[in-house]
Structure 1
Amino acid sequence: MVTVSRIVAGDQPDWRDLYRGYAAFQNASLSDDALDRLWQEIIDDTQPMLGAIARLDGVAVGLVHFQPFYRPLQACWNGFVNDIYVSDAARGSGAADALMKAVRDHARSAGWGEVRWATGADNARAMAFYDRVSQRTPLVTYKMPITPDED
């Protein structure tokens, strides 16, 4: 059975293993310092980042990080999923559904209008899941890297 709970301090070892798995899946390198900073953001109740961990029969198998953002055209708060990850061995177990339900439940209780996220255009398995639990938007995502000495 899959259970989901908010990430708490005692989850750190399981969370670290899962997040390292997520970083590897994303082909991203992650220093211990960056991992420590992210952990502090997640467990610090004064910060906006929220997190939940999924367990399958008591074993940690997935995580989700999300946070509020304000949408001026809707004049309301919405949510943004930064990361969602389920370990290879637990894919198809219902863990992703349970994690997204936890996000939806939080969004509803917080009064958010909607929850958004982005995924890689080549992540067909994730997109099939997202197409089932949400609506695809026509938006294209951009990023603007910020460097300290750039005008």
Structure 2
Amino acid sequence: MQIRQGTIADLDDLVLLFDRYRTFYGQQPDEDLARSFLLDRLRHLQSIIFIAFFEGQAIGFTQLFPSFSSGRAARTFILNDLYVAPEARGKGVGKALLAAAADYGKAVGAVRLTLSTAHDNGAAQSLYEGTGWIRETTFISYNLPLA
């Protein structure tokens, strides 16, 4: 397995994975939307994407969005997306992608990575907790839908 930072050259592979990720969360398949969204993020340096390959086949990705901690006056990242193709699950791909994200964050001086997952996604919760992520109990999260 190879993990590397994704670029615009990886867009075709990323679009397929990202579209599958979105449909996992109940969105309608839309590769054009996936391509446009990812291309904008990469062109404008608005996200960092790591992509996993096995024998030349893209099998997973994670996407980090830059953020900041006002309290710590430091850089953080939101690990917004993690997806491993069903046929590649249980083989350490998710763990390797999380490690790549953490290594990147440390290398650029970030003080924290943050993520959220669905309450009923026990497999993801086990992965996160098994790789050193700490369940947040201090804060309550809210969302304000704008569209």
The one-letter code sitting in structure 2 at the alignment partner of 1:146 is: L
Contact kept? 1:41, 1:49, Cα under 8 Å: no
TM-score normalised by the chain length of structure 2: 0.90
Identity of aligned residues (%): 23
Displacement of 1:10 in angstroms is: 2.4
**Cα distance between partner residues in 2 of 1:127 and 1:31:** 27
| Equivalent residue in structure 2 for 1:81, among 54, 57, 79 | 79
Unmatched 5+ residue regions in structure 1?
none
Displacement of 1:124 in angstroms is: 0.6
| Residue 38 (structure 2) pairs with residue 39 (structure 1) | yes
TM-score normalised by the chain length of structure 1: 0.88
Contact kept? 2:8, 2:39, Cα under 8 Å: no
Displacement of 1:37 in angstroms is: 2.6
Displacement of 1:50 in angstroms is: 1.1
| Residue 20 (structure 2) pairs with residue 14 (structure 1) | no
Moved over 4 A (4+): none
Q: What RMSD over aligned residues (CA atoms) do the two structures have, in Å?
A: 1.5
Contact kept? 2:11, 2:39, Cα under 8 Å: no
Unmatched 5+ residue regions in structure 2?
none
Contact kept? 1:3, 1:98, Cα under 8 Å: no
The one-letter code sitting in structure 1 at the alignment partner of 2:10 is: D
| Residue 141 (structure 2) pairs with residue 141 (structure 1) | yes
The one-letter code sitting in structure 2 at the alignment partner of 1:16 is: V
The one-letter code sitting in structure 2 at the alignment partner of 1:6 is: Q
Partner of 2:62: 64
